[in-house]
């Protein structure tokens, strides 16, 4: 195909005192910070909810299950709209919240349901003797979780958490819908302004792939660092 | 607290704005599911064929699709299809092509796991009674693989149904758009978004409940 490439588009001025390249790099920064902040929320909430679902209390298990079903059965885009349009209207406290905060709550809670599912599976995959041994030694249930169950469960679930971490980078692209100036919104707007869609999409796509690959490497490194010799397989 | 007023939502409104979007979302899910499973199975067979000229492109396709955000894939196809065929196509048609191509990558991973879960003995038995490669696949391996993977395939379809809301990026008229537009028209955007969330939840939750029951039944038969 006789397509005439025009990579100089990235050096063109956007009319806002910066080039498209600079705009793209700052958009990349937004993508990474949305993903990173949401990941922190997702991990914290997900570990909490996932642990609830394994406790010997019927009520807590039900709460945990309801949480997971709620956040898993509504599309991410709808959840983002809920946080962006509905939450500020229902709770006046949130009215002045920046959209960045609302988006990381949406993405974080959405992912927390998936993390909770992995955490529950990880805890339940441990032989029950481990928990019983902890309790038999006189540890309280909380201590058993803190010193026996969770440290092993975390190591087991690192591979599925790796793919969730890569998913969160990809899912951060949905934030374009509420005008977070991340990579996808940059791609849409720059494509419209310059009509050099192919060059711009190629650059944006490779930034997404690089980010996901970097996450993959970091998680593999963590997996190697924390492995218990002779127990859980090492990262690739 | 804000007063919610759900009375604006009537059968008339449903018929006028939402039904069209709901039908499109279902159609898109259905077409992408069938197309995705067919192409996904072909991709899985290519990857397992043991011939590198078939396996390498299939692997590159699957891994490539899976490492790009769906929104970017939607935008790519919307940009490239008119560029290749030389005339613009609508957002709806573009969505059908995009989702089939995108979901094929995900279904292919499921089908690959399904094919690999069939024990070697089954394959050898098929060969021993003189079936060709195609016959062996058609009559022995694929039916079992498909059956083993049915719950996973359906779970992926529920995810696919949720993902169809992302056609928002190219402005196709789907379920979410239907609610958004009726909310704008009736000046009740907040209630409309809430209703959209409830609708998606009810559909996805009941589907995943059915999948769970199916899974239990299959587990007993096996």
Residue-wise DSSP of B159-202: HHHHHGGGGGGGT---HHHHHHHHHHHTT-HHHHHHHHHHHHHH
Tell whether the model's pLDDT for residue A236 goes beyond 50. no
Averaged pLDDT for residues A100-110: 95
Domains and CATH numbers, chain B: 6-221 (1.10.3720.10)
In chain B, what residues touch A174 (CB-CB under 8 Å)?
Answer: 69, 71, 166
The shortest CB-CB distance from B193 to any of A85, A171, A188 is to A85
pLDDT at B42: 96
Could you give all domains of chain A from N- to C-terminal order, each with its CATH number?
7-226 (1.10.3720.10)
| Contact between B201 and A82 using a beta-carbon 8 Å cutoff | no
Segment A198-211 shows an average pLDDT of 94
pLDDT of residue B220 exceeding 80, the answer is no
Closest chain A C-alpha to B179 CA, distance in angstroms? 11
Q: How many helices (DSSP H) and strands (DSSP E) are in chain B?
A: 10, 0
pLDDT, greater one: A3 or A80: A80
Query: Who among A90, A201, A204 is closest to B2 (CB)?
Result: A90
Q: Write out the DSSP string of chain A.
A: ------GGGGGSB-SSSSBHHHHHHHHHHHHHHHHHHHHHHHHHHHHHHHHHTTSS-HHHHHHHHHHHHHHHSS-HHHHHHIIIIIHHHH-GGGGG--HHHHHHHHHHHHHHHHHHHHHHHHHHHS-HHHHHHHHHTT--HHHHIIIIIHHHHHHHTHHHHHHHHHHHHHHGGGGGGGT--SHHHHHHHHHHHHS-HHHHHHHHHHHHHHHHHHHHHHHHHHHHHHPPTTTSPPP-
Residue with tokens 């019983």: A132
A192 touches chain B (CB under 8 A): no
Band the pLDDT of B71: cuts 50, 70, 90: very high
- Residue contact B1–A171, C-beta within 8 A: no
pLDDT tens, B143-183? 999 988 999 999 999 999 999 999 999 999 999 999 999 98
Residues of B with CB under 8 A from a CB of A: 1-2, 67-72, 75-76, 79-80, 83, 162-163, 165-166, 168-169, 176, 189-190, 193-194, 196-197, 200-201, 204-205, 208
pLDDT beyond 60 at B186: yes
Is A7's pLDDT higher than 90?
A: no
Helices A158-171 and A99-125: angle between axes, nearest 10 degrees: 160
Chain B nearest CA to A191, separation (Å): 10
Task: Give the tokens for residue B117.
Answer: 């879960």
- The pLDDT score that the predictor gives to residue B15 is 80
Q: Please, are residues B161 and B29 in contact by the beta-carbon 8 Å criterion?
A: yes
- What pLDDT is recorded for position B3? 66
Model confidence over B205-218: pLDDT tens digits?
999 999 999 988 88
Chain B residue nearest residue A75, CA to CA: B162
Phi/psi class of residue A91: alpha, beta or left (left: φ > 0; alpha: ψ in -120 to 50)? beta
Q: What is the mean pLDDT of residues A106-114?
A: 96
For the segment A149-197, what is each residue's pLDDT rounded down to a tens digit? Answer: 999 999 989 989 998 999 999 999 999 999 899 999 999 999 988 888 8
Asked if residues A111 and A45 have their Cβ atoms less than 8 Å apart, the reply is no
Predicted TM-score of the model (pTM):
0.91
Give the model confidence (pLDDT) of B4-53 as tens digits: 777 777 777 888 889 999 999 999 999 999 999 999 999 999 999 889 99
**B193 → closest Cβ in A70, A86, A187:** A86
Nearest to A170 among B69, B196, B200 (CB): B69
Residues 99-138 of A with CB under 8 A from B: none
Of A79, A177, A187, the CB nearest to B168: A177
Distance to chain A for B12, nearest Cα, Å: 23
């Amino acid at each position: 195909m006789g397509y005439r490439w025009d990579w100089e588009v990235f050096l063109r001025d956007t009319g806002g005192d910066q080039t498209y390249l600079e705009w793209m790099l700052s958009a990349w920064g937004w993508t990474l910070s949305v993903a990173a902040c949401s990941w922190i929320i997702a991990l914290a909430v997900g570990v909490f909810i996932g642990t609830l679902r394994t406790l010997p209390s019927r009520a807590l298990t039900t709460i945990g299950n309801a949480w997971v079903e709620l956040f898993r059965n509504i599309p991410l885009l709808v959840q983002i709209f809920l946080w962006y349009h509905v939450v500020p209207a229902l709770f006046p406290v949130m009215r002045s919240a920046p959209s960045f905060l609302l988006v990381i709550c949406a993405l974080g809670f959405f992912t927390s349901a998936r993390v909770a599912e992995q955490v529950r599976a990880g805890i339940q995959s441990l032989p029950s003797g481990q928990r019983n041994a902890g309790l038999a030694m006189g540890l309280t249930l909380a201590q058993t979780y803190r010193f026996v169950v969770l440290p092993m469960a975390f190591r087991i679930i690192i591979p599925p958490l790796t793919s969730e971490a890569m998913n969160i980078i990809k899912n951060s692209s949905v934030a374009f819908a509420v005008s977070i100036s991340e990579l996808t919104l940059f791609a849409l707007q720059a494509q419209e302004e310059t009509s050099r869609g192919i060059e711009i999409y190629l650059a944006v796509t490779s930034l997404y792939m690089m980010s996901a690959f970097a996450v993959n490497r970091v998680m593999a490194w963590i997996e190697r660092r924390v492995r218990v010799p002779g127990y859980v397989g090492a990262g690739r | 607290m804000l007063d919610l007023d759900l009375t604006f939502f009537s059968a008339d409104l449903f018929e006028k704005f939402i039904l069209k979007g709901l039908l499109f979302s279902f159609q898109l899910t259905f077409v992408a599911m069938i197309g995705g499973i067919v192409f996904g199975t072909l991709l899985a067979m290519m990857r397992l064929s043991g011939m590198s000229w078939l396996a390498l492109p299939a692997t590159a396709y699957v891994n490539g699709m899976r490492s790009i955000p769906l929104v970017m894939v939607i935008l790519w196809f919307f940009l490239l299809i008119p560029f290749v065929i030389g005339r613009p196509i609508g957002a709806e048609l573009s969505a059908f092509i995009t989702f089939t191509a995108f979901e094929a990558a995900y279904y292919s991973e499921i089908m690959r796991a399904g094919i690999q879960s069939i024990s070697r003995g089954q394959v050898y038995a098929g060969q021993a009674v003189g079936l060709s490669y195609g016959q062996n696949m058609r009559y022995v391996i694929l039916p079992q693989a498909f059956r083993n993977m049915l719950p996973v395939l359906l779970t992926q379809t529920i995810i696919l149904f949720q993902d169809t809301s992302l056609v928002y990026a190219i402005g196709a008229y789907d379920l979410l758009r239907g609610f958004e537009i009726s909310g704008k028209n009736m000046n009740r955007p907040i209630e409309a978004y809430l209703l959209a969330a409830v609708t998606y939840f009810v559909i996805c939750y009941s589907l995943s409940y059915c999948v769970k029951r199916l899974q239990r039944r299959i587990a007993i038969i096996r």
